[in-house]
Amino acid sequence: MECDSVKLLAVRGSPFLIGLVLLGAPLRAAPTVIDGNLPPGVKSCAGCHADAAAQWRSSAHRFSSFNNPYYRISVEEFRSERGAAASKFCAGCHEPVLLASGAVDRPIAEASPEAQAGLVCLVCHSIDGLPDLSGNGGYHAHVSTVPLEPPGHGARLRPALLGDPKLCGSCHKVGLGPEITHDRWLRGQDDYDAWQASAAAGNGAGAVWRAPPSRCQDCHMPLEAALLGDAAAKNGKIRSHRFLGANAALPAARADADHLSRTRQFLEGAVSLDGFWGEAPGELLVVMRNRRVGHRFPGGTMDSNEVWLEAEAFDAAGAAIARSDAHPVRAQPVDGEGRPLERRDPQHTRGVAFDTSLSPADPQAVRFAVPADATRVVARLRYRKFSLAYAKRACAKVPRAERQRCEDVPVVEIAQVEVDRKEDAEPGWERLVDRGLALAASLADSASAAQPFLERARALAPARPEPLLGLARLYVRLGQTDEAVAMARAAARLAPEHPAAAFLEATALERAYRHAAARPAAERLLALLPEDRAALALVARVRGVVGDATGALAAADRLISIDPELEDGLYQRTLALADLGRAAEADVARARYLDHRVATEIDLALREKWRSHRSPDAPDESIPLHVHTLKRLP
Ligand code: HEC
Ligand code: HEC
Ligand code: HEC
Ligand code: HEC
Ligand code: HEC
């Protein structure tokens, strides 16, 4: 049986972009049609893959296009400002079907099947190559009919890339070029590199805590029981096509209670909270730690997500007496005037005012000042996918009956912690390490507050490397090279394979300009983690300074093959080429470096402008460990 009715046609979009059009009538062989309301192409698969299709049908991938009001408002603004053709950029990720048919270039019939199709099965199931790892919808989709008999069926629909996070990276990594910003190049949302750089991908050279690695597919496509009898089920299970994430807005708007409750469950506990009374009276330290997120938290778009930590204080009688303002946990992109972006308008981004997002491995502390008569404090980490103002604008065109649901974006509580005034038992060593690591990340002049906690953890758990690694990191931060090296080596004796031991030793020495001494630890680290960007960057620098320009170039080239736009890689490549006397190539490399340099001075100037728009009594989120003061309730 040949599936000649599912035909694909490749069309070139932007230089790196190949999209798809789906032609033809639904498959005649489909035994059970579960849903007549599926876009072209999907119907052909749904007959035999009822579970995959039903799951996909409630996923954000199904609503990636003009069938999604939260997206539509933003892409319409972009199209009206920059022209329809420019929105090919968005289309490679959001509406590949429209891109492939060429319809994006023209006014779009928003109700047409193509504009409502979303990210259909055959896009992911045809991607067999990437020109490089710069994302931006740069994928090559293989175009051929779909045989229905094994082994041809599986061979056609499971290209090697399907199980690889690089597949996801082709769309989950955004670079905003000058053609979009009409200004400098900027990194957009990028969960791929955040994952690749972390212990979740088996990398994360500096991570003190390490969990077993997992792919995007493991977390976002876990095995799920195939209750509808999917033809591809193995042991009754298939990889879930719900692609659960943080988007509670879409299922709420569509009144899809099942997907909404699954999204809540996916989010709950993804980050944990812990609380400690500080040294100063009334000071409360809340420590967040990433538990189940394989990249920075929050992932995805950060300008429109609202994620925040808040605290409320109670008196002995149990009455609420004071409340904090919200500590945002996210990055804040701003426009050229330093104003926060509020309309999901990437074309106006000029820089980032602050980034309080949580790293995949390191705990982060937030300070609260609590009234003296408070006996109990409750802190909560909450998530609203879109701000209410954004949702109101986005939902204005939604039919009246559904508008309220679309506007009322649910708030999901990710974690909660209750801290009593009376001291409880001494925290275990793990909590002490978390507290120490979180404090060590603050400004250098207050980082030393971390020391007693890390020392106590070391005394409680003498066989564990983590307290020693925490101390090594603290000493690196304080510029105490010999102490840092001693701690890192002591940790290496306990756990020779722990990458952070080699990383911290090499970093301490390199920062003290002791490059020759740093080299053995740096090379040891690279042998442990050959794909780690921090390891490669360190090795490139150390090799370069000790005169091994060939070795430095090799490391820089590896860095660029992992992330072609990585500033550090481009810079090290420029230096190595110059050292090797390859001046012309060095000039090309330098130009590329300058194009992708993170211009700190521009970000600092934008931050100053951003500060002028803030209310003067709000804490400055760009300063680590600033204090949020709880205000008395009337
Ligand atoms: C007539 C029934 C039928 C249709 C229609 C069909 N499939 Fe399948 N598919 C199967 C069967 C049976 C298997 C398991 C055996 C195999 O791998 O070939 C399978 C397996 C798969 C696999 C797993 C392959 C592997 O190697 O593990 C993928 C992916 C897949 N199908 C995707 C699709 C997509 C996408 C469509 C729509 C374009 C589609 N199928 C249409 C019957 C079908
Ligand atoms: C966003 C990309 C994407 C889309 C869209 C997508 N799939 Fe998949 N699909 C995958 C990936 C990735 C895997 C394999 C996951 C793995 O093995 O780790 C997969 C696996 C499968 C399998 C094999 C089952 C299994 O347990 O491995 C079937 C069948 C399948 N998909 C069918 C479909 C159908 C039908 C649709 C449309 C309704 C669809 N897919 C849409 C990415 C996608
Ligand atoms: C062709 C582009 C493309 C590919 C390939 C792709 N995605 Fe997506 N993904 C999108 C777009 C676009 C959205 C946003 C849809 C929307 O909300 O408008 C999205 C949304 C998501 C979300 C958010 C879901 C939610 O409910 O919050 C997750 C999680 C996700 N994708 C995971 C993956 C994983 C894992 C892979 C690889 C197996 C993958 N994606 C491959 C384009 C893609
Ligand atoms: C260890 C598990 C894990 C891995 C691995 C992982 N994620 Fe996630 N991801 C999560 C969790 C949990 C969330 C929800 C919390 C958040 O938004 O950060 C999430 C959120 C997201 C979101 C945001 C959804 C939204 O609505 O804002 C996207 C997009 C996403 N992940 C894509 C990816 C991609 C792409 C990869 C691989 C490069 C990946 N994830 C790897 C666990 C994981
Ligand atoms: C490289 C792929 C890619 C490109 C290019 C891209 N996006 Fe996205 N976009 C995504 C992904 C992936 C998400 C989902 C992230 C999440 O769930 O947090 C997303 C989310 C969004 C959202 C949030 C609302 C929603 O539906 O989840 C808006 C709005 C949006 N994109 C607008 C645009 C516009 C407008 C453009 C073009 C100017 C564009 N995007 C270009 C990948 C892309």
Two tokens, residue 618 = 């709000």
Mean predicted lDDT score pLDDT of the chain: 91
Q: What is the pLDDT of residue 14?
A: 30
Phi/psi zone of residue 399: left (φ > 0), alpha (ψ -120 to 50 degrees), beta? beta
Give the residue, out of 33, 49, 145, 161, with the most ligand 1 atoms within 8 A of its beta carbon, to mutate for a pocket test: 49
Residue 390 has pLDDT above 90, yes or no: yes
Q: Nearest-CA neighbor of 412 among 573, 543, 297?
A: 297
Summarize pLDDT for 202-233 with one digit per residue, the tens: 999 999 999 999 999 999 999 999 999 999 99
The protein residue whose alpha carbon is closest to atom 17 in ligand 1 is 154
Length of the chain, in residues: 634
Exposure on the CB side of residue 240, measured as CA atoms within 13 A: 18
The response to whether residue 374 sits with its C-beta less than 6 Å from ligand 4 reads: no
pLDDT of residue 517: 98
Distance CA 153, CA 620 (A): 56
- Closest alpha carbon to 122 in 136, 98, 142: 142
281 against 170, higher pLDDT: 170
> Burial letters for 283-299: b for 16+ Cβ neighbours within 10 Å, e otherwise?
ebbbbbbbebbbbbbbb
Give the pLDDT confidence of 420-449 residue by residue, as tens digits: 988 667 889 999 999 999 999 877 677 899
Smallest CA separation from ligand 5 atom 7, residue: 90
How much of the chain, in percent, has pLDDT values that exceed 70? Answer: 93
Q: Is the bond preceding 151 in cis, omega lying within 30 degrees of 0?
A: yes
Q: Is the CB of 206 under 6 A from ligand 4?
A: no
Task: Output the pLDDT for position 41.
Answer: 75
Find tokens 């990433």 and name the residue: 290
What was the pLDDT predicted at 95? Answer: 94
> What is residue 27's predicted lDDT score, i.e. its pLDDT?
27
367 pLDDT exceeds 90?
yes
Rounded average pLDDT over 52-72: 96
Tokens representing residue 320 in the block: 């609420």
pLDDT at site 374: 94
pLDDT in tens, 225-282: 999 999 999 999 999 999 999 999 999 999 999 999 999 999 999 999 999 998 788 9
Is the preceding omega at residue 462 within 30 degrees of 0, hence cis?
no
The mean pLDDT value for 16-36 works out to: 31
Task: Report which bound ligand comes closest to the CA of 175.
Answer: 5
Cα 92 to Cα 102: distance, rounded to the nearest angstrom? 11
Instruction: Report the residue among 68, 71, 136, 219 best suited for mutation to probe ligand 4: largest number of ligand atoms under 8 A from its CB.
Output: 219
Of the pLDDT bands very low, low, confident and very high (cuts 50, 70, 90), residue 40 is low
The sign one gets for the Cα dihedral 487, 488, 493, 499 is: positive
Q: Which ligand is nearest to the CA of 297?
A: 4
Task: Write the single-letter amino acid at 420.
Answer: D
Joined together, the tokens standing for residue 328 give: 């945002």
